[in-house]
Chains A and B, each alone.
Chain A
Amino acid sequence: MGLSLATAGAGAADFVPKDGKIGYAMTDLYWAIYQTPDAKQECPKGFNDGPREQFDKLFPAGKKRTVADTQLLLETKTWLTSPEPDGFVFKEIVGPTSYGLNLDGKVDANDFTSPTGEKGIDNQLYRALGCVIGFRGPDGVEYIFENKAISQSRYNRTMIEITGVDSLVNDDDVKVTIYRGLDRLLTDATGNKVMPGGSQRVDDRWGKKLIQTIPGRIKDGVLTTQPAKQMIIPWMNLGVPTFQLIRDMRFQLKLTPTGAEGLIAGYADVDIWYKQLIRNDSTHHLSNGQISGISLYKALRRLADAYPDSQTGANTAISSALDVKMVQVYINAPPSNTITAAR
């Protein structure tokens, strides 16, 4: 839905983190989708069909059906993907506005403009997902459940620790280390509201390959990092230990002493993106969000805009942005040699 950075710096003005470091754990994560009332601006032709609607069109009731010619045919196409057209018209975003960042430093015809007027926004993933009900808030099935899993599953416990911080408002040179935590998030007595001030052990065994440090700077209370070559975001939704791989990943986060929110942006690996979706969500779950995996994969391949395959020339990654919220935590990092060894 997009998170505003307009009040950057609020609450951070007179805060200096102890020992120059502050940690945050991820609590919310959504694919950034710019939505207007009734979607009239961005999806004037309406929303895409899902598996149930496509099944009814392909196999009208009253005709003899076999498992092999219906269910297995569609499941095969879902899992053994092809970029070739499937005969259904896919409705892409047509509006000019999107959340995200200018990833390539250019402004070209396919780019969006941010709600605050910044041009050159690279977010072709939004073009693919924006007219799919399941990814739209507040009640799309992916919007709800993929995000819910972020706070509930320890597997998804992505954290950052910012070090070398002289001021949470302006600091030209900070380091941002990405970890995975091992513990549940601190909540209030209801168990539903995540609270700042919890502590997290660092997963330096299974999560060792997730650890990396990138430089950044804080300006007017907003942390912006340099691009990391790639970031693995562990993202299990329905019990399958999958992840997203974001290339040229960078954070843009408004910081406060108790939390951070903003964007993760970069180029999502298309095949990994798609498999993260369909390995967690069966065709049943996708149906509840009117998400045709078959049609969506073809759109992703068609709209992919970076990292061309060395042999085919086809792009393998798609520009993307994620809305992220984090809560302040105390990170019990392993000895520095452990972290260094993992880089």
Chain B
Amino acid sequence: MRRAMTARKLQMAGGVLTVAMLLASGSSSASGDMAAKAGSAGAREIYVHVPTPEGIRVQSTELEGPVFATADGHTLYVWPFKRMRVGYSGEQKGKPACYDEVLKTTAGLMSPYPAGAELPELDTRPSCAKLWPPVLAKADDKLVGKWTVVDRKDGTKQWAYDEQPVYTSILDKQPGDVYGGFSRRSGGDSPAGRQPIGPPSKVPPGFDVKTTTLGRLLTTKKNYSVYSYDKDTPEKSNCVGECAQVWTPLIAPETAQPQGDWSLVVRSAGVKQWAYRKKPLYTYTLDQRPSSLEGSDVPGWHNVYTQFAPSFPKGFTLQDSIAGQVLADAKGKTIYQYNCGDDSQDQLSCETPDDTQVYRLAMCGAGDPVRCQKNWPYVLADKGTTSISRTWTVMSIDPKTGHRATAGQTDALSVWAYRDRPVYTYAEDKAPGDVYGDATGEWRGGRNGLKAIWVRDDFFGGGQ
């Protein structure tokens, strides 16, 4: 009952949100205010209500849309099986592999370094299950929809979704936190990561929704972006003739019915076009890659989002580079995030301030925190600034260690964090739009290194 009420509220709140609202304030660099404007609409993605076991519910989140969560709001994750450069990691369906065992050596999953090297800081290294508590089931729990129960080798039972064992993350503290992992494509050689799970988005057949930096992007099932047009009305498409040759109307089946955010516009007798939040929908014939934003360069045309990501911190800017648009600080310096997963069979994270800092300090300063600060300075938050969302937070960091500062620590730095991970600039970037630090570190910055936060990439899979 509670869920249904929430859904109705979301439908009522759901005005038409397009990326134009985010980028239409007349400045190519200001973003925080623009994002705040879009975010203020507060629309949230509608999802399909699927059966869930007792104690598991759906939680709306800022970046991932609706996800499954425990009763107290902890996001649920799975750890899909993944082929690595040498061997495999993750979990096969129905077979939990994350236990309360501390692994001590590398598995040699990533060429060229052989297996058997001792992992860092073994005295404090956690087990997989300590970081990823399994969501346990009772002995008499029954199957519910895609939810099944799998046996753990210690005799306990664990919930699985689509046969993948389900976990929570100790990184998530509040309902809506999704700090343990993300659903965005992160490159073939990234760690075998944990992914949030959630109910299907409520979209007609042929559509899909993708998590991007700017929000949950509406696409076709083949991942091509969907657009709306300013000159259309809720009842009529005004894109006909030559326009419709460039912008392909998304035609609905004859039997299609309006539902929720989705409605139908009659183009001609017997030909109906899908509309979302009262805007007729199209694809762009010149789009040459999935999840493109190129059509939004055409005046009057906009990508469509089911919900926007939270606003960027005040003062952050967007900068054009030769590869697309990156997030930057107030001076135009590109902002980077650090990515790290170790080479254990567990593929544990080494990218948050709570993890070992041995990897990060090696990459940014050969183990020297001072050199790290010089090469990759934290993006400092102005005095008195506090977190603005669950996505963009302000955290207190001990610059000598890279860990969180202790309460009252006088030399602590107040820094901006994205998804609870500090963000950085790069000393070698001199001018706005410089992205010399992108893909620095092991495996193109995906395993022990840094990547720029791309807001738009027209040419590559940069994580836009």
Q: Does B436 contact A (CB under 8 A)?
A: yes
Q: Per-position contact with B for A47-74: 1 when CB-CB < 8 Å, else 0? A: 0000110010000000011111011110
Q: Does A341 contact B (CB under 8 A)?
A: no
Q: Which of A184, A205, A283 contacts B112 (CB 8 A)?
A: A283
Chain A interfacial residues counted at CB < 8 A: 42
Q: Which of A75, A183, A234, A243 contacts B441 (CB 8 A)?
A: A75
Chain A residue at smallest Cβ distance from B446: A282
Q: How far is the CA of A42 from the CA of B362 in the complex (A)?
A: 38
CB within 8 Å for A282 and B117 given contacts A51-B112, A240-B438:
no
Tell me whether B365 and A206 are in contact (CB under 8 A).
no
Q: How far is the CA of A143 from the CA of B441 in the complex (A)?
A: 23
Q: Does B363 contact A (CB under 8 A)?
A: yes
* CB neighbours of A239 from chain B (8 A): 187, 444, 460-462
Q: Does A155 contact B (CB under 8 A)?
A: yes
* CB neighbours of B459 from chain A (8 A): 153-155, 206, 236, 241
Within B431-463, the residues touching A (CB, 8 Å) are 435-436, 438-445, 448, 457-462
Q: Does B306 contact A (CB under 8 A)?
A: no
Q: How far is the CA of A209 from the CA of B460 in the complex (A)?
A: 19
Q: Does B111 contact A (CB under 8 A)?
A: yes
Within B120-154, the residues touching A (CB, 8 Å) are 120
Q: Per-position contact with B for A255-281: 1 when CB-CB < 8 Å, else 0? A: 000000000000000000001000110
* CB neighbours of B438 from chain A (8 A): 240-241, 279
Question: Interface with A: B42-50, B209-217, B320-328, B387-395, which one?
Answer: B320-328
Tell me whether B440 and A79 are in contact (CB under 8 A).
yes
Tell me whether A283 and B458 are in contact (CB under 8 A).
no
* CB neighbours of A243 from chain B (8 A): 322
* CB neighbours of A238 from chain B (8 A): 444
Within A78-122, the residues touching B (CB, 8 Å) are 79-80
Tell me whether B322 and A282 are in contact (CB under 8 A).
no
Q: How far is the CA of A241 from the CA of B322 in the complex (A)?
A: 8
Q: Does B232 contact A (CB under 8 A)?
A: no
Tell me whether B362 and A241 are in contact (CB under 8 A).
no
CB within 8 Å for A241 and B112 given contacts A67-B118, A70-B117, A72-B358:
no
Q: Does A5 contact B (CB under 8 A)?
A: no
Tell me whether B112 and A66 are in contact (CB under 8 A).
no
* CB neighbours of A215 from chain B (8 A): none
Within B353-381, the residues touching A (CB, 8 Å) are 358-359, 362-363, 365-367, 375
Q: Per-position contact with A for B103-118: 1 when CB-CB < 8 Å, else 0? A: 0001000111110111
Chain B interfacial residues counted at CB < 8 A: 48
Tell me whether A67 and B321 are in contact (CB under 8 A).
no
Interface of B: prevailing SS: loop
Tell me whether A75 and B118 are in contact (CB under 8 A).
no
Q: Which of A68, A183, A206, A283 contacts B358 (CB 8 A)?
A: A68
Q: Does A210 contact B (CB under 8 A)?
A: yes
Tell me whether B189 and A206 are in contact (CB under 8 A).
no
Q: Which of B114, B189, B440, B460 contacts A241 (CB 8 A)?
A: B460
Q: Does A225 contact B (CB under 8 A)?
A: no
Q: Does B119 contact A (CB under 8 A)?
A: yes
Q: Does B40 contact A (CB under 8 A)?
A: no
Q: Per-position contact with A for B324-351: 1 when CB-CB < 8 Å, else 0? A: 1000000000000000001100000000
Tell me whether A241 and B462 are in contact (CB under 8 A).
yes
Tell me whether A241 and B366 are in contact (CB under 8 A).
no
Q: Does B174 contact A (CB under 8 A)?
A: no
Q: How far is the CA of A288 from the CA of B416 in the complex (A)?
A: 39
Chain A residue at smallest Cβ distance from B366: A76
Tell me whether B120 and A66 are in contact (CB under 8 A).
yes
Q: Does A232 contact B (CB under 8 A)?
A: yes
Tell me whether B189 and A282 are in contact (CB under 8 A).
yes
CB within 8 Å for A76 and B362 given contacts A155-B459, A239-B461, A240-B438:
yes
* CB neighbours of A164 from chain B (8 A): none
Chain A residue at smallest Cβ distance from B359: A72
Within B71-130, the residues touching A (CB, 8 Å) are 85, 106, 110-114, 116-120
Q: Does A284 contact B (CB under 8 A)?
A: yes
* CB neighbours of B320 from chain A (8 A): 205-206
Tell me whether A234 and B322 are in contact (CB under 8 A).
yes
Q: Does B183 contact A (CB under 8 A)?
A: no
Q: Does B288 contact A (CB under 8 A)?
A: yes
Chain A residue at smallest Cβ distance from B106: A67
Q: Does A287 contact B (CB under 8 A)?
A: yes
Tell me whether A275 and B112 are in contact (CB under 8 A).
no
User: Which of the listed residues B436, B444, B459 has the most CB atoms from chain A within 10 Å of its own CB?
Assistant: B459
* CB neighbours of B443 from chain A (8 A): 282, 284
Quote the shortest CB–CB distance from B418 to chain A (angstroms). 20
Within A214-268, the residues touching B (CB, 8 Å) are 232, 234, 236, 238-243
* CB neighbours of A68 from chain B (8 A): 120, 358, 362
Q: How far is the CA of A73 from the CA of B457 in the complex (A)?
A: 33
Tell me whether B187 and A284 are in contact (CB under 8 A).
no
Q: Per-position contact with B for A159-189: 1 when CB-CB < 8 Å, else 0? A: 0000000000000000000000001100000
Tell me whether A284 and B363 are in contact (CB under 8 A).
no
Q: Does A207 contact B (CB under 8 A)?
A: yes
Tell me whether A287 and B112 are in contact (CB under 8 A).
yes
Tell me whether A284 and B112 are in contact (CB under 8 A).
yes
Chain A residue at smallest Cβ distance from B112: A287
CB within 8 Å for A275 and B436 given contacts A155-B460, A206-B458, A241-B460:
yes
CB within 8 Å for A279 and B440 given contacts A67-B119, A209-B322:
yes
Tell me whether A66 and B118 are in contact (CB under 8 A).
yes
Quote the shortest CB–CB distance from B290 to chain A (angstroms). 14
* CB neighbours of B375 from chain A (8 A): 80
Q: How far is the CA of A207 from the CA of B106 in the complex (A)?
A: 43
Q: Which of B321, B439, B441, B442 contacts A206 (CB 8 A)?
A: B321
CB within 8 Å for A184 and B436 given contacts A67-B118, A206-B321:
no
Q: How far is the CA of A114 from the CA of B457 in the complex (A)?
A: 41
Quote the shortest CB–CB distance from B165 to chain A (angstroms). 28
Chain B residue at smallest Cβ distance from A70: B117
Quote the shortest CB–CB distance from A158 to chain B (angstroms). 12
Tell me whether A71 and B117 are in contact (CB under 8 A).
yes
Chain B residue at smallest Cβ distance from A275: B436
Quote the shortest CB–CB distance from B23 to chain A (angstroms). 14
Tell me whether A65 and B444 are in contact (CB under 8 A).
no
Tell me whether A240 and B322 are in contact (CB under 8 A).
no
Given A55-B113, A71-B113, A79-B363, output 12 extra A-B contacts at Cβ < 8 Å: A64-B118, A67-B117, A67-B119, A79-B441, A205-B320, A206-B321, A206-B323, A210-B322, A234-B323, A239-B462, A284-B85, A287-B112
11 contacts between A and B (CB under 8 A): A64-B118, A67-B118, A75-B441, A80-B375, A239-B461, A239-B462, A240-B438, A241-B323, A241-B459, A241-B462, A280-B444
Which of A's residues lie within 8 Å of B, judged by CB? Answer: 51-52, 55, 64-68, 70-73, 75-76, 79-80, 153-155, 183-184, 205-207, 209-210, 232, 234, 236, 238-243, 275, 279-280, 282-284, 287
Which of B's residues lie within 8 Å of A, judged by CB? Answer: 85, 106, 110-114, 116-120, 187, 189, 288, 297, 320-324, 342-343, 358-359, 362-363, 365-367, 375, 435-436, 438-445, 448, 457-462
